[in-house]
Amino acid sequence: MYETLLIPTDGSDHARQAAERGFDLAATYGAAVRIVHVIEDPDSGVTVHEYDDQVRDDMERIGERYVDDLVSAAEGCDVAATGEVRHGAAHEEIIAAADDHAADLIVMATHGRTGLEGLVLGSVAERVVRLASVSVLVARPDDESPSSDE
């Protein structure tokens, strides 16, 4: 059913939880996983190419760490995984990565490091769901599951 899953990460716990769900699916279907981290400045609209060299290098290093961490975690689940760091608008780069790698499914968190914990669906996830040409599994963080008042 699935051959390649794309899993975006921003390094947040929510993204990690979504990735773990993706690893479970990949293991079940024998699919490969492609991890992607996108570097952008959502507050100012400035991309990493407009930062000074030190900031750009730091952001690259952090992004590579996020990707490497999840690649290692996937391999620990016996799932073949590779990763990359991209630059640009997050939703556009996630969709482009899915197209570039012929992903059958995108698995991502409802929201990540936005600081807007009250949002049901983050703007990046919402845009990916709306614009992607493949199915998108949007995973709710474990700590936000609906509670029962029984």
Domains of the chain, by residue range, sit at: 1-100
Task: Categorize the per-residue pLDDT at 41 as very low, low, confident or very high, splitting at 50, 70 and 90.
Answer: low
Could you read off the pLDDT of 83-125 as tens digits, one per residue? 999 999 999 999 999 999 999 999 999 866 554 443 444 689 9
Tokens 């995973």 sit at which residue? 139
**CATH code given to domain 1-100:** 3.40.50.620
DSSP assignment string, the chain: --SEEEEE--S-HHHHHHHHHHHHHHHHHT-EEEEEEEE--TTT---GGGS-HHHHHHHHHHHHHHHHHHHHHHHHTT--EEEEEEES-HHHHHHHHHHHTT-SEEEEES--TTS-TT-SS-HHHHHHHHH-SSEEEEEPPGGGSPP---
Alpha-carbon span 150 to 87, nearest angstrom: 47
What pLDDT does residue 44 have?
47
Region 79-85 average pLDDT: 98
Question: Cα torsion at 120, 117, 59, 61 (round to 10°)?
Answer: -90
**Measuring CA to CA, how many Å separate 60 from each of 35, 85, 101?**
15, 7, 21
Bigger pLDDT: 51 or 39? 39
